[in-house]
Amino acid sequence: MKNAIILHGKAGKEEYYDPDQPNGSNAHWLPWLQKQLISKDIKADTPDAPYSYDPQWDLWVKEIERFEIGPDTILVGHSCGGGFWLKYLSLHEDLKVGKVILVAPWMDPDGDETRGFFDGFEIDPNLSERTTGLTVFHSDNDMGNVHKSVAQIREKIKDLQYKEFHNYGHFTYGSMRTNKFPELLDECIK
Protein backbone atom coordinates (compact mmCIF):
# COMPACT_ATOMS: atom_id res chain seq x y z
CA MET A 1 0.00 0.00 0.00
CA LYS A 2 1.33 3.43 -0.94
CA ASN A 3 1.80 5.69 2.05
CA ALA A 4 3.26 9.08 2.97
CA ILE A 5 4.92 10.52 6.05
CA ILE A 6 4.80 14.31 6.29
CA LEU A 7 7.18 15.68 8.90
CA HIS A 8 6.99 19.19 10.39
CA GLY A 9 9.91 21.43 11.29
CA LYS A 10 11.34 22.88 14.49
CA ALA A 11 8.93 25.07 16.43
CA GLY A 12 9.76 27.99 18.64
CA LYS A 13 9.31 27.19 22.35
CA GLU A 14 6.56 29.80 22.80
CA GLU A 15 4.74 28.50 19.72
CA TYR A 16 5.09 24.89 20.93
CA TYR A 17 3.49 25.64 24.30
CA ASP A 18 0.89 28.16 23.07
CA PRO A 19 -2.52 26.47 23.50
CA ASP A 20 -3.93 28.66 20.73
CA GLN A 21 -1.41 27.44 18.13
CA PRO A 22 -1.79 24.12 16.30
CA ASN A 23 0.77 21.35 16.76
CA GLY A 24 3.49 21.25 14.11
CA SER A 25 1.74 18.35 12.40
CA ASN A 26 -1.43 20.43 12.07
CA ALA A 27 0.12 23.71 10.97
CA HIS A 28 0.60 25.42 7.62
CA TRP A 29 -0.07 23.13 4.62
CA LEU A 30 0.56 19.78 6.37
CA PRO A 31 -3.09 18.87 7.14
CA TRP A 32 -4.18 20.02 3.67
CA LEU A 33 -1.55 17.81 2.00
CA GLN A 34 -2.46 14.88 4.25
CA LYS A 35 -6.14 15.16 3.27
CA GLN A 36 -5.32 15.49 -0.44
CA LEU A 37 -3.18 12.33 -0.36
CA ILE A 38 -5.78 10.39 1.62
CA SER A 39 -8.42 11.38 -0.94
CA LYS A 40 -6.16 9.76 -3.57
CA ASP A 41 -5.99 6.52 -1.55
CA ILE A 42 -2.50 7.20 -0.22
CA LYS A 43 -2.31 6.56 3.54
CA ALA A 44 -0.79 9.77 4.91
CA ASP A 45 0.51 10.39 8.41
CA THR A 46 1.74 13.59 10.02
CA PRO A 47 3.68 12.51 13.11
CA ASP A 48 4.26 15.04 15.87
CA ALA A 49 7.84 14.88 17.14
CA PRO A 50 7.95 15.56 20.89
CA TYR A 51 9.58 18.79 22.04
CA SER A 52 10.05 20.00 18.48
CA TYR A 53 11.37 23.32 19.78
CA ASP A 54 14.40 21.40 21.15
CA PRO A 55 14.83 18.48 18.72
CA GLN A 56 16.29 15.30 20.16
CA TRP A 57 17.35 12.74 17.57
CA ASP A 58 16.25 9.60 19.43
CA LEU A 59 12.78 11.00 20.12
CA TRP A 60 12.24 11.98 16.49
CA VAL A 61 13.42 8.57 15.26
CA LYS A 62 11.15 6.76 17.71
CA GLU A 63 8.19 8.84 16.53
CA ILE A 64 8.66 8.27 12.78
CA GLU A 65 9.54 4.58 13.11
CA ARG A 66 5.98 3.92 14.30
CA PHE A 67 5.08 4.17 10.60
CA GLU A 68 5.91 1.87 7.73
CA ILE A 69 8.81 3.14 5.60
CA GLY A 70 9.55 1.31 2.37
CA PRO A 71 9.72 1.50 -1.43
CA ASP A 72 6.14 2.79 -1.69
CA THR A 73 6.56 5.50 0.96
CA ILE A 74 6.54 9.18 0.04
CA LEU A 75 8.58 11.22 2.52
CA VAL A 76 7.92 14.94 2.88
CA GLY A 77 9.85 17.10 5.31
CA HIS A 78 9.52 20.79 6.06
CA SER A 79 12.53 22.73 7.38
CA CYS A 80 14.09 20.68 10.22
CA GLY A 81 11.85 17.79 9.13
CA GLY A 82 13.56 17.89 5.72
CA GLY A 83 16.96 17.86 7.39
CA PHE A 84 15.79 14.96 9.54
CA TRP A 85 14.93 12.88 6.44
CA LEU A 86 18.36 13.59 4.95
CA LYS A 87 20.13 12.37 8.06
CA TYR A 88 17.79 9.42 8.61
CA LEU A 89 18.14 8.17 5.03
CA SER A 90 21.90 8.78 5.00
CA LEU A 91 22.26 6.68 8.16
CA HIS A 92 20.02 3.90 6.81
CA GLU A 93 21.96 3.09 3.65
CA ASP A 94 19.94 -0.05 2.83
CA LEU A 95 16.57 1.70 2.99
CA LYS A 96 14.79 2.30 -0.32
CA VAL A 97 11.84 4.68 -0.42
CA GLY A 98 9.52 6.33 -2.90
CA LYS A 99 9.62 10.04 -3.51
CA VAL A 100 11.41 12.33 -1.09
CA ILE A 101 10.42 16.00 -1.11
CA LEU A 102 12.31 18.42 1.09
CA VAL A 103 10.53 21.76 1.56
CA ALA A 104 12.89 24.52 2.74
CA PRO A 105 15.22 21.87 4.22
CA TRP A 106 17.25 23.10 7.18
CA MET A 107 20.13 21.34 8.92
CA ASP A 108 21.29 23.97 11.42
CA PRO A 109 24.29 24.92 9.24
CA ASP A 110 25.67 27.25 11.90
CA GLY A 111 25.33 24.55 14.58
CA ASP A 112 23.80 26.83 17.16
CA GLU A 113 20.12 25.88 17.38
CA THR A 114 19.79 22.10 17.81
CA ARG A 115 22.45 20.95 20.29
CA GLY A 116 23.89 18.32 17.98
CA PHE A 117 20.70 17.06 16.31
CA PHE A 118 22.50 16.98 12.96
CA ASP A 119 25.86 15.71 14.23
CA GLY A 120 27.25 12.29 13.44
CA PHE A 121 26.52 11.84 9.75
CA GLU A 122 27.57 12.74 6.26
CA ILE A 123 24.96 13.33 3.57
CA ASP A 124 24.90 10.28 1.29
CA PRO A 125 25.83 11.67 -2.16
CA ASN A 126 24.02 8.74 -3.81
CA LEU A 127 20.83 9.13 -1.80
CA SER A 128 18.73 9.85 -4.91
CA GLU A 129 19.48 6.34 -6.21
CA ARG A 130 17.53 4.83 -3.32
CA THR A 131 14.41 6.88 -4.07
CA THR A 132 12.02 7.25 -6.98
CA GLY A 133 12.99 10.92 -6.99
CA LEU A 134 14.45 13.42 -4.54
CA THR A 135 13.27 17.02 -4.89
CA VAL A 136 14.18 20.18 -2.99
CA PHE A 137 11.68 23.07 -2.82
CA HIS A 138 13.41 26.37 -2.07
CA SER A 139 12.19 29.95 -2.00
CA ASP A 140 14.33 32.87 -3.10
CA ASN A 141 13.31 34.86 0.00
CA ASP A 142 13.77 32.20 2.70
CA MET A 143 16.10 32.68 5.69
CA GLY A 144 19.87 32.78 5.25
CA ASN A 145 20.51 29.54 7.14
CA VAL A 146 18.03 27.71 4.89
CA HIS A 147 19.89 29.05 1.84
CA LYS A 148 23.09 27.61 3.38
CA SER A 149 21.46 24.23 3.99
CA VAL A 150 20.05 24.06 0.48
CA ALA A 151 23.45 24.96 -1.01
CA GLN A 152 25.07 22.12 0.99
CA ILE A 153 22.43 19.65 -0.13
CA ARG A 154 22.69 20.64 -3.79
CA GLU A 155 26.48 20.42 -3.63
CA LYS A 156 26.55 16.97 -2.01
CA ILE A 157 23.65 14.97 -3.49
CA LYS A 158 23.83 13.82 -7.08
CA ASP A 159 20.77 13.69 -9.32
CA LEU A 160 18.36 15.64 -7.18
CA GLN A 161 15.60 17.82 -8.60
CA TYR A 162 15.58 21.46 -7.55
CA LYS A 163 12.53 23.73 -7.68
CA GLU A 164 12.87 27.38 -6.79
CA PHE A 165 9.87 29.49 -5.85
CA HIS A 166 9.53 33.27 -5.75
CA ASN A 167 8.32 34.93 -2.53
CA TYR A 168 7.20 31.73 -0.76
CA GLY A 169 9.38 32.59 2.26
CA HIS A 170 9.79 29.59 4.55
CA PHE A 171 6.71 27.89 3.07
CA THR A 172 4.58 28.72 6.11
CA TYR A 173 1.10 30.15 6.27
CA GLY A 174 2.61 33.51 7.23
CA SER A 175 4.69 33.56 4.04
CA MET A 176 2.30 31.91 1.60
CA ARG A 177 -1.01 33.29 2.97
CA THR A 178 -2.66 29.94 2.26
CA ASN A 179 -2.79 26.44 3.70
CA LYS A 180 -2.97 24.93 0.21
CA PHE A 181 0.20 23.88 -1.59
CA PRO A 182 -0.79 22.41 -4.97
CA GLU A 183 2.79 22.37 -6.31
CA LEU A 184 3.78 20.03 -3.48
CA LEU A 185 0.79 17.77 -4.06
CA ASP A 186 1.65 17.57 -7.75
CA GLU A 187 5.23 16.56 -6.89
CA CYS A 188 3.98 13.87 -4.52
CA ILE A 189 1.65 12.22 -7.01
CA LYS A 190 3.37 12.70 -10.37
Residue 1: what pLDDT? Answer: 83
Mean pLDDT of 35-44: 98
Length of the chain, in residues: 190
pLDDT of residue 33 exceeding 90: yes
Structural domains of the chain sorted by starting position, each given as residue range(s) with its CATH number in brackets? 3-189 (3.40.50.1820)
Q: What is the mean pLDDT of the chain?
A: 96
pLDDT of residue 32 exceeding 90: yes
- The 10s digit of each residue's pLDDT in 72-123 is 999 999 999 999 999 999 999 999 999 999 999 999 998 889 989 999 899 9
- The 10s digit of each residue's pLDDT in 133-153 is 999 999 999 999 999 999 999
- The 10s digit of each residue's pLDDT in 148-179 is 999 999 999 999 999 999 999 999 999 999 99
pLDDT of residue 20 exceeding 90: yes
Residue 130: what pLDDT? Answer: 97
Write out the chain in H/E/C secondary structure.
CCEEEEECCCCCHHHHHCCCCCCHHHCCCHHHHHHHHHCCCCEEECCCCCCCCCCCHHHHHHHHCCCCCCCCEEEEEECHHHHHHHHHHHHCCCCCCCEEEEECCCCCCCCCCCCCCCCCCCCCCCHHHHCCEEEEEEECCCCHHHHHHHHHHHHHCCCCEEEEECCCCCCCHHHHCCCCCHHHHHHHHC
If one counts every other C-beta atom within 10 angstroms of the C-beta of residue 178, the result is 11
Residue 133: what pLDDT? Answer: 97
pTM value is 0.97
Residue 90: what pLDDT? Answer: 98
